[in-house]
Amino acid sequence: MTKFCIGCGVQLQCDDYFEDGYVNPDMIDTTIMCKRCFRLKNYGEYRVSNKSNSYYKGIIKDIFRMNELVLHIVDIFNLGNIEYIYSKVFSPSILVLSKIDILPKSINEERLISYFKKKYPRYKEVIAISSDKNYHMDELFDLIMKYKESNSVYVMGNSNSGKSTFINKMIKNYTDNKNFIVTSCMPSTTLNVISIKINDELTLLDTPGIINEGDVVNYLPEDVVKRINIKHEIKPRIYQIKEKCALILEDIGRINVLDKSNISIYISNNIDIEHVNFDKNDKYKDLKLTKIHVDSDEDLVIEGLCFIKVSDDTVFEVYMKEGVSVYTRDKIINKE
């Protein structure tokens, strides 16, 4: 009988140890979870999946053709390639800004919501949630019941955006089920569509996340990825830059600030930043340099790592691993 892992959705098999879905042959009849999920859930041990981004895109491609409600889950800290799904979903969809608990409490949520509503007008609704803090879960449940086309509602978004954590919270809040989907801060935890019945009128379908190729997590070792993952409210690091200087982000990279400006860096509280005089960059010469001008109404974004607000137009030199996206966007936090 074909069985699927309750942790990641992949088909269970006992033939190939190195393939996803592997379980020991003597357990294939009794277990409901693959070895990869078991080790991740119980020991925090992560194993890279052998599936590619085009495989994940292939899975969700068919969903775009269905006329079902889509919840597009976007990590508020890591917007990534939000346009990818936005440009493909034409069925009713709700933009769910997840992990709102990690932004400072002083942030004006209404302004944040109207920023996204204006920029992405095809979403029926935009809502900010925190699955960790159980914030706006009932409100989102009501929106789902209002807009759903049938019993099936698809949950889509980038890898690590918090899709499975959100579904687990729905399971906890609205069902007696004790089987939860496996979640982690490492990329590609969910590998296949997982169907979760919430009640007789609602089944949520978790989907594998899209890998954002410019995300810094693709280029850093596991221990650093775990530390850049933001678990608690960010305390922005604020610097009054009076003359050219450099900010050293441990071994991850370096940011030279070339103009006078007040800058606020939104980054994991676990990453040390050293503020040093501007000097030669010998240590970082193997990293790629991006020289970038940031207007005072823009943020500088280093994908998956941080974003920086500036008080005045400022030029930065950013040294990061080749492949990491460094770009500007309209400021998402205006007045706090």
Ligand X SMILES: Nc1nc2c(ncn2[C@@H]2O[C@H](COP(=O)(O)OP(=O)(O)OP(=O)(O)O)[C@@H](O)[C@H]2O)c(=O)[nH]1
CA atoms lying within 13 Å on the CB side of residue 58: 7
User: How far is residue 205's CA from residue 97's CA, in Å, rounded to a whole number?
Assistant: 18
| Residue 102 interacting entry, from ligand X, Mg ion, none, C-beta within 5 to 8 Å by type | ligand X
9 binds ligand X (CB under 6 A): no
Is the sign of the CA dihedral 177, 59, 132, 87 positive or negative? negative
304 binds ligand X (CB under 6 A): no
| Residue 229 interacting entry, from ligand X, Mg ion, none, C-beta within 5 to 8 Å by type | ligand X
User: How far is residue 45's CA from residue 36's CA, in Å, rounded to a whole number?
Assistant: 8
| Residue 80 interacting entry, from ligand X, Mg ion, none, C-beta within 5 to 8 Å by type | none
Among 12, 82, 96, 102, binds ligand X (CB under 6 A): 102
DSSP label at residue 91: S
User: How far is residue 182's CA from residue 46's CA, in Å, rounded to a whole number?
Assistant: 12
Among 160, 192, 256, 261, binds ligand X (CB under 6 A): 160
192 binds ligand X (CB under 6 A): no
Which position has the token pair 């007696």?
176
What is the β-pairing status of strands 306-310 and 194-199?
unpaired
Query: How many other C-beta atoms lie within 10 A of the C-beta of residue 30?
Result: 7
DSSP label at residue 9: -
Q: Whose CB is nearest to ligand X?
A: 209
78 binds ligand X (CB under 6 A): no
CB of 187 to ligand X, least distance (A): 6
CB of 98 to ligand X, least distance (A): 5
| Residue 132 interacting entry, from ligand X, Mg ion, none, C-beta within 5 to 8 Å by type | ligand X
Question: Which residues within the stretch 161-190 sit at the binding site for ligand X (CB under 6 A)?
Answer: 161-165, 183-185, 187-190
CB of 130 to ligand X, least distance (A): 4
User: How far is residue 303's CA from residue 81's CA, in Å, rounded to a whole number?
Assistant: 10
190 binds Mg ion (CB under 5 A): yes
| Residue 162 interacting entry, from Mg ion, ligand X, none, C-beta within 5 to 8 Å by type | ligand X
Report yes or no: 328 and 294 within 8 Å, Cβ to Cβ.
yes
CB of 26 to ligand X, least distance (A): 28
Among 101, 298, 303, 317, binds ligand X (CB under 6 A): 101
189 binds Mg ion (CB under 5 A): yes
For 330-333, the CB contacts below 8 A with 24+ separation are 330/115, 330/119, 330/297, 330/298, 330/299, 331/297, 331/298, 331/299, 332/79, 332/112, 332/115, 332/299, 332/307, 333/103, 333/107, 333/112, 333/299, 333/309
Among 19, 109, 125, 132, binds ligand X (CB under 6 A): 132
Contacts of 169 (CB under 8 A, 6+ apart): 131, 134, 137
CB of 122 to ligand X, least distance (A): 22
Segment near ligand X (CB under 6 A); pick from 46-54, 129-137, 292-300, 304-312: 129-137
User: How far is residue 13's CA from residue 5's CA, in Å, rounded to a whole number?
Assistant: 10
CA atoms lying within 13 Å on the CB side of residue 192: 16
Nearer to ligand X, 168 or 256 (CB): 168
21 binds ligand X (CB under 6 A): no
Which position has the token pair 């879905």?
21
Among 164, 184, 188, 328, binds Mg ion (CB under 5 A): 164
Segment near ligand X (CB under 6 A); pick from 61-69, 127-135, 240-248, 311-319: 127-135
78 binds Mg ion (CB under 5 A): no
Q: Which of 209, 211, 200 is nearest to 164 (CA)?
A: 209
- List of residues contacting Mg ion (CB under 5 A): 163-164, 189-190
- List of residues contacting ligand X (CB under 6 A): 98-99, 101-102, 130-132, 157, 159-165, 183-185, 187-190, 208-209, 229, 231
